[in-house]
């Protein structure tokens, strides 16, 4: 899920240089720091949720597949018409791939996405009685659904915390906040699952995605407006 960056009006303060922020040394200090990060995220984004508009698990699966390398905003412009035209999973399963690709052209990578959507619909009709599966193992058999997509569907549509969604925002911010020292999403997810309580996995990802869009943006993070400044020793901090 890529997304446009949105400016938020928040108070500005002098940014603490990374070298002046103490790093946690003990397990207790690390836990205390994570608790502080979670509390700050709760304070800023208490009701964070998925920005992809959907009415059921199937629509969320479709929207998530479309959101690869595309903004949620763009996906939300395409899906209302798409769900009207292909109103059931069956209708998507029997769609013309060329026509579907044209319908989703503006989301990019439309040929691959059309192939995935038709494949996903066929798989769900054939093997899961027309219901989007509710387990990671089963979801990973659905074309177009890798672990991130499966986590989005399980967490947001079903409320099942099987893992942590690791998109580009969660990856970047987990690294900046030293919650992981890995680069691979699967390893980052494992690191997060060890330090974030399971009942926070779903909300945490939503909060971090919002945080990444609004404050800790990829280029020139808005550190002077960041409530996590005092615990952040990232070399990416924007001091000026
Ligand atoms: S915006 Fe990002 S880099 Fe800047 S202080 Fe906050 S968490 Fe650290």
Under 8 Å between Cβ of 236 and 17: no
Q: Is 232 in the pocket of ligand 1 (CB under 6 A)?
A: yes
What's residue 145's pLDDT?
97
Beta strands in the chain (DSSP E): none
Find the catalytic residue in 3, 123, 167, 237. 167
Q: How far is the CA of 149 from the centre of ligand 1 (A)?
A: 26
Which domains, and CATH codes, for the chain?
A: 31-47+163-229 (1.10.1670.10), 57-157 (1.10.340.30)
Q: Is 229 in the pocket of ligand 1 (CB under 6 A)?
A: yes
> DSSP character for 106?
G
37-91, pLDDT tens digit by residue? 999 999 999 999 999 999 999 999 999 999 999 999 999 999 999 999 999 999 9
Can you list the pairs that 79-85 forms with residues at least 24 positions away whose Cβ atoms lie under 8 Å?
79/52, 79/53, 79/54, 80/53, 83/55, 83/59
At a CB cut-off of 8 Å and minimum separation 6, what does 18 contact?
A: 232, 233, 234, 235, 237
Structure tokens at 166: 């690791």
Based on its alpha-carbon atoms, the radius of gyration of the chain, rounded to whole angstroms, reads: 19
Q: Candidates 16, 226, 231: which one to mutate for ligand 1, based on the most atoms within 8 Å of Cβ?
A: 226
Can you list the pairs that 182-188 forms with residues at least 24 positions away whose Cβ atoms lie under 8 Å?
185/147, 185/148, 186/147
Give, using CA atoms, the residue closest to atom 8 of ligand 1: 232
CA atoms within 13 A of residue 52's CA, in its CB half-sphere: 30
Q: Which of 235, 183, 206, 229 is nearest to 3 (CA)?
A: 206
Atom of ligand 1 nearest to the CA of 177: 7
132-145, pLDDT tens digit by residue? 999 999 999 999 99
Q: Give the chain's length.
A: 240
What's residue 3's pLDDT?
46
Percentage of the chain lying above the pLDDT 90 cut: 94
What's residue 164's pLDDT?
98
At a CB cut-off of 8 Å and minimum separation 6, what does 33 contact?
A: 24, 231
Atom of ligand 1 nearest to the CA of 215: 1
Please say if 236 is a catalytic residue.
Answer: no
pTM: 0.92
Measured CA to CA in angstroms, residue 138 lies from 114, 128, 223 at distances of 21, 9, 41
Q: Is 223 in the pocket of ligand 1 (CB under 6 A)?
A: yes
Whose tokens are 């603490």? That residue is 16
What's residue 4's pLDDT?
45
Q: Does the pLDDT value for residue 5 go beyond 50?
A: no
Measured CA to CA in angstroms, residue 149 lies from 68, 224, 226 at distances of 9, 33, 29
Structure tokens at 2: 């890529």
Please say if 84 is a catalytic residue.
Answer: no
Structure tokens at 171: 């990856």
Q: How far, in Å, CA of 52 to CA of 223, rounded?
A: 27
- Which residue has better confidence, 10 or 210? 210
């Amino acid at each position: 899920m890529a997304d446009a960056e949105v400016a938020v009006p928040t108070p500005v303060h002098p940014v603490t240089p990374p070298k002046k922020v103490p790093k946690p040394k003990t397990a207790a200090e690390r836990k205390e720091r994570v608790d502080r990060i979670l509390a700050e995220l709760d304070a800023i984004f208490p009701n964070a949720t998925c920005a992809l508009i959907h009415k059921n698990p199937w629509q969320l699966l479709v929207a998530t597949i479309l959101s690869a390398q595309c903004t949620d905003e763009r996906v939300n412009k395409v899906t209302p018409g798409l769900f009207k035209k292909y109103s059931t999973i069956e209708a998507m399963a029997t769609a013309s791939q060329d026509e579907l690709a044209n319908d989703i052209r503006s989301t990019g990578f439309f040929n691959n996405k059309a192939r995935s959507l038709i494949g996903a619909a066929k798989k769900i009709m054939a093997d899961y009685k027309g219901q989007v599966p509710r387990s990671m193992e089963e979801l990973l058999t659905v074309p177009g659904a890798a672990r991130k997509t499966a986590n989005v569907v399980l967490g947001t549509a079903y409320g099942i915390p099987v893992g942590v969604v690791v998109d580009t925002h969660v990856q970047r911010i987990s690294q900046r906040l030293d919650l992981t020292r890995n680069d691979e999403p699967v390893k980052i997810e494992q690191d997060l699952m060890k330090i974030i309580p399971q009942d926070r996995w779903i909300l945490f990802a939503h909060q971090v995605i919002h945080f990444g869009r609004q404050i800790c943006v990829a280029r020139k993070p808005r550190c002077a407006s960041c409530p996590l400044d005092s615990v952040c020793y990232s070399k990416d901090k924007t001091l000026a």
